[in-house]
Every structure is written in structure tokens, then in C-alpha cells.
Structure 1
Amino acid sequence: MKKHEGLFSQVRWLFIVIAFVGMVIGLNTQLVHAKASSLETDFQRAAAKYQVPVDLLKAVAYNESAFDSHNGKPSVAGGYGVMHLTDTTGLTPSGSDSKAVKVPNTASLHTLQKAAKLTGHSVGQLKTNSAANIDGGAALLAAYQKSLGKGLTSNIGSWSAAVKKYSQSDSQAAADFFAANVYKILAKGVNHNGVKISPQKVNALKDEAIDTTGESGQTDGPAGLPIEWIPALYKTFDDQGDYGNYDLADRPNDEKINYIVIHNTETSFQEALTLFSTPTYTTANYVVSSVEGTVAEMVRPQNVAWHAGNWYINSHSIGIEHEGYAAVGGYWYTENMYKSSAALVKYLADKYQIPLDRQHIIGHDNVPGLTPAAQKGMHWDPGTYWNWNHYFELMGVDLSKSDGSTDSHIITITPNDKTNLTADSGQKVTDDGVNLPLAGSNFVYLYEQPSFSADLIADKDFSSGQSGTTEKDDWGDKAVYGQQFSKIDQQGDWTEIDYGGQGAWFYNPGGANSTDATGKLVTAKGSKAVPVYGSAYPSDSILKKNKVTGIKPTPIYQLQPGQKYVYGGTVTSDYFNSHFNSNSPKNVIHGTDDYYQIQFNHRIAFVKASDTTLSDD
């Protein structure tokens, strides 16, 4: 009897364990589902409370934040939560590119206070509690609809004027652009973060028609973009030939436009316009505002703006500055900014035949220096929290889509911005030693060995130490979303790549932080190291023949035998020898050397085709 009881006891406990595990799994599933659906419930409740069409409320939220609360952290425009309620009180933008200035005290930057009065929720609740934040957005929409003398109707088409007011824009074009994006979301539908909007046919009422034609007839941008021509300063500063803030050219007829460089202003939008309109020797082709997504075109694309800190890249690129207060307190960029910028980049890339990839749509942090000394001082914007994945998705490009096989030697860095860095591993991101959020970061750390306890790699032209740091501006130990490298080895959850002249390991469990890719690889010919350059300039002899002094191709690194780097295209050497008020083709000095562009480390670089071998993966 005891023997049978023992057997029964084991079976009984087995069933109990199975039942318990099933219950735990069920509870966990319910918790995950509850978490995913809580936003949906919050939208339903707020819409009913303030008599706003629920799908309209969701569409406005998705247009503002893609349903991401960012854990209560402010955007670079001082916006909080899924409804992007703004409060810039106490924010002071600052950075290496500008003096500290106060954030403009405008109503558009303080919608959170108005929402607090309408809902009775505290400012703190509106910032950190999603349900309260959605209440605030719904209350604002209802208030705007009433202020227009309109009823709180279920007809979504009659709310377009209120949606325009929600944009907080003084620009009609910007307000129209915002509303047009909201109604596109309704037409297309969304299923994201547990919130669903079914595709629907919705038209704004005739008396509220949305103008999406914009003013692009007088500017260089796509139809419907809220863009205005605000010219940068172009004049001589003395009688010695000193001038600024850009150069006349005839691109792409005299020089091909190969790159679009993404910047962050670290100033207000207006401050950037002022900076580029005064004798500062700096400007960009475009500036995009954060709250509204309005665009100022300041230098025509055919002309050369002074923005990249690398004359060769300037000559072959278009620079786009983005308003932001990221240096102090802001951790994410607004949807209005992303959408305007993405629409502009897609338009420019199509017009000038620029590939939509991360070797040609680059950050200022990807621009190399022309010399080793310059390399150390190159900028690091748009920084840790620029969402390259989302940005390219808005342009219709999925950088995480695999086009290679599992035995491919080329991989694309594609980390999940919510899980790529983990506190459990001891990883952190810091700003002068102060911890910043891990979620939303766009990179993977690179280690000397396949272990979290190993030192981070260091770049000889950036760090004076033997190992890298967790500082957000330390670009020497970070590989960013969309960049491609040659895979050397795999050990467990760790992947090794060729990076900046050394092997570098990153945490990649199950390939979670990379995607297999195809392409071509560049290696050194023979058994000797070959020079790596920050430009594709003509030879010293050709430059001297054309009376160009003080400029010569200068190596910034060495490509060692056996190392492989991903090919980004072939360019023939040239130098833009600019002069004030002259856009003659004679200003462009053409060389005879072909260069291969490569992704060498965090920054792109160039090697001579004659020094290297180009091969398929």
C-alpha cells in the first residue's frame, strides 16, 4: 500500500507542479496582456469622459509619441507621456555648440499646465501616469473643439480644426501637416503597444479641409511639408577675403551629393536661425523645429553649408539641424520632428540619388576628422537617443530586415532600443557621471573580450585612457543602429567584429542585436598596413599644381592586413576650392585616385582603391 501511495504521491505532485506552472504561465500571460491592453483601456475611458472620438484620440497620441510614455522622461521639446503634454519649466538648453540660453516661454511649451487645470490632475501625475496623461490630451482636444464653437460629435471628420490647434503651431502649414498625419494614421490603421486603430475612411469636412500642398514651390522640399525659406547669412566680413556662412556651388553638376548629415542644435529653433544668420562661420541647409516639425530652409541644396567639421563631407553633403534640448533633461525626439525630417530626407535622397542607408544618411557623430587631431574633437550629435530604426521606418526602409544568410560575414547592428542595454549586466549610460536612462538608447557597447567584466574598447584618437567609458559622448566604444561590420567570431551570446583596427565584442544573445546582411568587404592588399583617411582628396601633387596650400590627404588610422570593413561605395578624389561669390566648375579640383568608403569604426572613412581589395562577402 505504501508502495502504491508513493507512486500515486509522485504522480499527484507531478500534476500539482504542472497545474502550478500552468497557473503561473497563465498569470504571467494575463499580466502581459493586461499591461499591453492598459493603454487601450485608458484611451477608451478618457474618450468617454471627455466625449472625444476614441480613434481620433489614439491617432493624435500615436502622431505625438507612437504610444510610448518614455517612462515619464521629457522629450527634447519638453513633452511628457503618450500625449506629449509640454512643460519646459526649468529646462535650459546647453551644449558644446552654443552658449546656454533660456527656453522660449510660449504657450505651446506649457500645455501640461492647461491640461492640469482642465482635468484636476497634478502636474506630476500628468507627467508620469499614462492614464492621467491621456486624460489631459482628451481634455485639451475637447476644449479646442468647444473653443471653435463646435459640438463634441462622434464624427471624426469634424475635429480636424481642433487637431490643428492641438499641434500648438502658429504656422498654418505646420498645423495642416500635423492634422494630415493624424488623418493618415486613421486611414492606414495602427496596431502597436497593445493599442489598435482599425483602418477607416475619414475625410475632414469641407470647411475644415487640410491644406497639404505647403509652400514647397519656393523651397526645396516635398509637397505638404511645413517649410519656409529663411536665408542664412552670405557676405564678406572684411576686405581681406573673409566671408561666411556658406559657399555657392552648382551641385550635383560640379560635385555629387553623397550624404545627408543629421545634427542636433542644442539650442532653440529660433536661436539656431539667429546663429546661422549672423557672422558665425557655420550654418546648415535645413533646420527642423521640435514641437511643430516646421522646417526652415537656409541654404539651397546646390550650395555648400558649413556644418560637418570636415570640408570634404561638407562639399558632398546636405546638413539638417534638429532643434533639441538633449544636453539637459531631454531624452527623446518628437514625432513631429521625426516625420518632417524623414519626409525631407526621403525627398532629398530621391532627388539627388543618395542611398537610404547608414553609410549615406549619417549622424554628425559618423563624420570623420581630416587629421588625427581633428578626429578627437569631432562632434557626437544627434546622440544616444536618436531613434535611427524609427527614422528609417518613416522613410519606408526596414534596417532590421535580413538580406543575408546565417553564415554571412556582414552584420547590421540592430539592437532593440528597450532591451539592448540592461542594468543586470552592470551596463549604464552616463553624462558627466550622472546615470541616464538605458531604454531608448540606439547602440551596443563594444568590449575587449566576450564578457561584461571586460574593459570597453578605446579609440586612440578619442580617449587618453586604456579603456572606453560609459559617457554618452564617448563614441569610441559604441556601434550604432544600422551600421554594418564584418563578423569575426561568435562565442556563446557574444559576437566579435572588426572595428577601428581591433577586434570588438558585443552582447548578442540569439542574434537579438544584429541582423545578417549582404554586401562587399574591403581588405588591405599584401602584408602591410594601408592608410585610412577622413576624406577622398586628390594627391598632394595635384593640389599643389592647382595652388592649394595647407591641404593634403592625411591618414587618421591604419587598415591592418586581414581586417575587413564593409564597403560603402566608390568615389573619385576631388577638392572644392571655394571662393566668395563664385560657383565656377573650376573651383572643383579633380584627382585621379579612386577611394572606397568604409564603415571603419563609429565613423565612416576612406581608403585608396589601389591599396585595397574589394570582394563579395
Structure 2
Amino acid sequence: MKARLRRPAALLAGAIIPLSLLIGQPAGAATAAPVADAFARASAAYEVPRDLLVSVAYAETHLDGHGGKPSASGGYGVMHLVSNPRTHSLERAATLTKLPVATLKSDTTANITGGAAVLRALADELGLGADARKDPAKWYSVVAEYGNASQPEVARLYADTVYDLLGGGVSASTPDGETVKVAPRAVEPDRGSYAKVKQLGENATLAAATVDYPGATWVPAHSSNYAVSDRPTSDAIDRIVIHVAQGTYAGTIDWFQTGPRPNPTSAHYVVRSSDGAVTQMVREKDRAFHAGDYNRRSVGIEHEGWVDQASWFTDAMYRSSAALTRNIADRYGIPKDRAHIIGHNEVPTADHTDPGPYWNWTTYMSYVNGGGGPTNPHTPESVCGSGYKVIDSAPLGTAGNVYLLYNSTSGRNCVATIKTSSLGQATATSAYLEVQGQTRVTDSGNFSYYAGPVIAAAADKCVKWGGKAGSYTYDSGFEHCS
């Protein structure tokens, strides 16, 4: 049996593959690393790169199937197989694998098998041949389709998240304590048709309104998911409600963009786990449908993650959300205390439990009220060296800033990316400098505090410069020509 499993060409997406065969042993027998083994065998069976498969699962659920309970959008298991009126990847997985829907919902090995089968079926539909399937970079459009987004900008956001994980590596613990790893690897994704899709918030049709919070990206919710109003003239705003989405950042944005539906839902803001990115989806003057009796008087902030999984609540998320909350409170005169900044579970008549027991209110309120925390000990001047002065800079969301410096004595430019979140943690960070007519020079890797210095002689020449921290990127045109 094992010899046959090692011949991927014999195992096609539409094949009926018994679950016990994918496990590689009699059903019910124990393995030392059942989840890692399930990824390896599903990868081999459906010719989906193993590390890509793990990265998709981690992006969706951090490898926690939540005991077979659905996400807010009706997704099940570590691969988030979805069953809702618009998306039926769960049912498709059942058809492809011949495994019962109930098993796909609750059994992790089956769920991973189902996810791999759906990915392979999408690859076949998109014409991904045998050679292309071996290259993770070629799967970008497949991954984008797997996210089931209704808007191409959100599909790109979803796929970019997966490829950021693939590039930076994954080390995740399952609910049973098993560790599953993906080693960092340099992958330049082939975006295909998605290369023409602008990043979320850059499309003019999505950025028609000015955000209320300067650090946010504007992506409007569907008009059926909120009520146009004139707050605070019509209703005073005196509460901020903290939510946990029971889903991913991209999935939550997509869910709020979808409608009309029987259960209209939205929040004013959505905050990402990995780097604290903020998307505004409803203007604060309007009533988002997020907190029942408190809709009229509150601003709602959704946070990527699940209430029963602490790994989603990162320091970057806390700091970014706290800065947003502090900004809202200052503008409306809301006291910065727990009587006015509350959880969804504290709304009268609420039947929700979020933000749940793992939300650290002590840390969060400390940040809201300007509490301390680590700061980056490095500055662009200290990274580039004596004689360099900042002549330009650009924010990288809440993850950092990239700086262009110039030394008037030597005629050299320097670029440095200085992180402002995930300090002390090795995360994907880069800086580059391109002097017109010369080859671009880049410093890229997993860095704890900064990328750079990237230095080049550029007197009387135009330069391009930029960098990346987390999932934020800045690229200049040719400028600073004299």
C-alpha cells in the first residue's frame, strides 16, 4: 500500500482514497505525529506542496479545528471547509474524497484530506500541470480561489497572507500539543491574473470614502449590513465594543462585504492578528450591526481569531487596536475605562462570549491608556551610520517605517526599515535602494529590529527606494534626483 501512495500520478483529485490509506495504517491506530503525517500524506496523494498545504491551514485556523464547530462564515476544521449559501467547499470535499460530511467536519485527518482534494481540483480547473504543481509559486491563483472571496482584492489579500507565511515559516502547536513546522523559504509567487489586482484599499472604487481613523484602509461593507445614520448628532457615541471574529481577517472582510443575507452583520473596523493592520468597513457616523441594543451608541472593532485560541491575540494586534480605541475615545470624549470599553459579551442581552477568556484586558487597557512596552532601540541614523540624515520616509502600516537617508559629505544614500511591532521576533523585513541605471540592492530576511543598511553612491542621480515589514510594502518611483 505504501509503495502505491508514493506514486502521486496514480492518485488524482477525483479518486476515492480511503481515509485509512491516507493515514498509511489501519483506521484507528495511533501515530506519533498524526497531524504532520496527515499533511504529508494528503500532499502526496493530491500533489499539493506540503508546506503550502500547511500554510493554508495555518492562515485559516492556526491548525485548530475547534472541535468541529463552525466559524462565523460556516467553515469547519483546520482547512476551513466552508458550507454556507454562497460557498460549498465542504460538500465539494465530500464529493471528491467520498468521505462523509460529518467526518470532514470533525476529523482532522479527513479535513486535511478534504482541503488537499479541493486545492487539487481547483488546480486542475486552472490548468496547473504536473510540473507546475511541484512549484509552490505556481499555486497562487489556486490559493486565491480557495479563499472563496467575493472580491478580487480580498482574494489577493488571502493569498498574500498564505505566501507571507510560506516565506517566513510556520511553527504551530495543535490542540493536542503536536508541533507542525514549515521552514522559511524564498518564494516569489506567480500571481497570474491577480498581478493586475491592486492591494486591498488601493482600488479607487473601494477607497471612495475618507476613513475616520488615519491608520485604516477603507473597504466598505455591503449596504445591507449597516444602517446609514448621522451619529453623533442623531445618537451619542459613548461605548467601544471589542469583538473576536471567529474567523480570519480576509474572511471577516469578505463576510461583511457579502449581502443581502438573513443575518446582516458588520463592524466599523477589523484588526489583523499578525501585524495589527486595520480595515474600516463602516463609517463611524453609521450604525454597524454588531452589538444589538448598543448599535446606536457604540463603535465596533472586530479582531481576527477565535475566542478559544490565544495564539491569535498578538502584541501587534493589542497595540494597534488599542491605538485605534484611544483615537476613537479621544474624538468622542469616551472615558478610557472598562465601563465604556467593553466586550461583546458585556452588552446587555448579548448571547456572545467574545472576546473570550484569552483576551488580556489588563494588557489591552494599559496600551489604551498609553502604557509602556518595548520600543525599538535602533534608529535609521544609528543603522546607516554617522553623517546620514533622514530625507524621506514612509509608514509600513503598524509594522514599521522605511527611511531614505543621505550623507552630503560622501554623496551616498542609505535605506533602512525600522520595525515598530513584533520587536525582538524574527519576522519578514526588507529594505532596498536602486540608483537609476544600476542594479537594485536589497537586504531581506527575518529580522528582529530592522533591515538594512542598504547604501549606494547616488549624488546627482535618481533613486527608487522602499521596503517591507509584515505584510506592508512601500515602493517609491524614481525620485530625489539632485
TM-score by length of 1: 0.40
TM-score by length of 2: 0.49
Greater C-alpha radius of gyration: 1
